[in-house]
Homo-oligomer: A and B are copies of this chain.
Amino acid sequence: MKVGLLGFGKTGKAVASILLQSDEVKLQWVIRKSHNLEHRSVPEFLGITSTEPGFIYSAEEFTAHELLNKLPVDVIIDFSSEEGIEYYGEEARKQKISVVSAISSYPSTKIEFLKYLSEKTRVIWSPNITIGINFLIIAAKILKKIAPYSDIEIVEEHFKGKPEVSGTAKKIAKALDLQEEAIKTIRAGGIIGVHEILFGFPYQTVRLKHESITREAFGNGVLFAARHICDKEIGLYSMEDLLMPYFNMGSDVS
């Protein structure tokens, strides 16, 4: 599977390193806004031995049409910004190239545009594209259904400088129909990211806890998404949609 990557900030770099080290995908190119590192090889830049092309281009050098004809891919992975989609959207729709977007949030017009793309190709959008967090959200929804009387609290811990409540914690709260007050926010030192969903029962507790070690976790989520989107119909999906079939294989796991 050939893939291209938009965005080469801290997270983009971490994701690129995972893509390069995976046998499942071949990184064809990285597109970024700036001219920084233009024409550098990603494997060489990251110090990873790889025969994959993976050159860095500026969005100003090529249009998406030129790029995708010169260096075609099966999946476009977007870790840029909400504008990224403007660059490649129409061309992905036309060429039916799958899109995996990890952009934190889109304005409603962009969400409409995602839906428009998904009429003709497969689109996955997940603001926190880790397996761990998305698994926890589904599991928590199920436990809430089993025990609607339990008290649920969300604790999220991040580094001191992180402003506001984490978007992931808000997403968890929304998924569980909780007020934002149910989120307790810890800010201390250099903590990368911890999310805990606590279920308090009268005589027991259940804690579902996710801890991020490094940003490379997003890379493994992308691989999971890229691997699973192939079997899907054309349409718009979330990571939860891709994980859900594993929850429905009841007879296999019981």
Q: State the A residues within 8 Å of B (CB).
A: 130-132, 135-136, 138-139, 141-143, 145-147, 150-153, 155, 157, 159-160, 184-192, 198-217, 219-220, 224, 238, 240-241, 243-250, 252-254
Q: How far is the CA of A202 from the CA of B184 in the complex (A)?
A: 21
**Once the chains bind, are B204 and A186 in contact (CB under 8 Å)?**
no
**Once the chains bind, are A200 and B190 in contact (CB under 8 Å)?**
yes
**Apart from the given pairs A189-B213, A190-B203, A203-B213, 10 other A-B contacts in the complex at a CB distance below 8 Å:** A131-B204, A132-B205, A145-B246, A145-B253, A160-B200, A189-B200, A189-B201, A189-B203, A204-B212, A245-B250
Picked from B142, B151, B209, B245, the residue with its CB within 8 Å of the CB of A189 is B151
**Once the chains bind, are B206 and A135 in contact (CB under 8 Å)?**
yes
Q: Chain B contacts of A157 at CB under 8 A?
A: 198
Q: How far is the CA of A153 from the CA of B146 in the complex (A)?
A: 26
Q: How many copies does the complex hold?
A: 4
**Once the chains bind, are B250 and A153 in contact (CB under 8 Å)?**
no
The distance from the CB of A221 to the nearest CB of chain B, in whole angstroms, is 9
Q: How far is the CA of A185 from the CA of B216 in the complex (A)?
A: 25
**Once the chains bind, are A247 and B248 in contact (CB under 8 Å)?**
yes
Q: Chain B contacts of A142 at CB under 8 A?
A: 135, 139, 246-247, 249, 253
**Once the chains bind, are A206 and B253 in contact (CB under 8 Å)?**
no
Q: How far is the CA of A136 from the CA of B146 in the complex (A)?
A: 12
Q: Chain B contacts of A246 at CB under 8 A?
A: 142, 145-146
**Once the chains bind, are A145 and B249 in contact (CB under 8 Å)?**
yes
Give A253's nearest chain B residue, CB to CB: B141
Q: How far is the CA of A202 from the CA of B153 in the complex (A)?
A: 27
**Once the chains bind, are B199 and A213 in contact (CB under 8 Å)?**
no
Q: Chain B contacts of A217 at CB under 8 A?
A: 201-204
Q: Chain B contacts of A186 at CB under 8 A?
A: 153, 155, 184, 198
Picked from B159, B185, B205, the residue with its CB within 8 Å of the CB of A184 is B185
**Once the chains bind, are A187 and B146 in contact (CB under 8 Å)?**
no
Q: How far is the CA of A202 from the CA of B160 in the complex (A)?
A: 9
Assuming the contacts A150-B189, A188-B199, A200-B188, asked whether A207 and B205 have C-beta atoms less than 8 A apart, the reply is: no
Picked from B202, B244, B254, the residue with its CB within 8 Å of the CB of A244 is B254
Q: How far is the CA of A216 from the CA of B201 in the complex (A)?
A: 11
Could you list some 29 contacts between A and B, CB below 8 A?
Answer: A132-B201, A132-B206, A135-B146, A135-B206, A136-B206, A139-B142, A142-B246, A145-B249, A145-B252, A150-B188, A150-B189, A151-B187, A153-B187, A155-B186, A186-B198, A189-B205, A190-B200, A191-B200, A192-B213, A201-B217, A204-B210, A204-B211, A205-B211, A206-B210, A207-B211, A244-B254, A245-B250, A247-B247, A247-B250
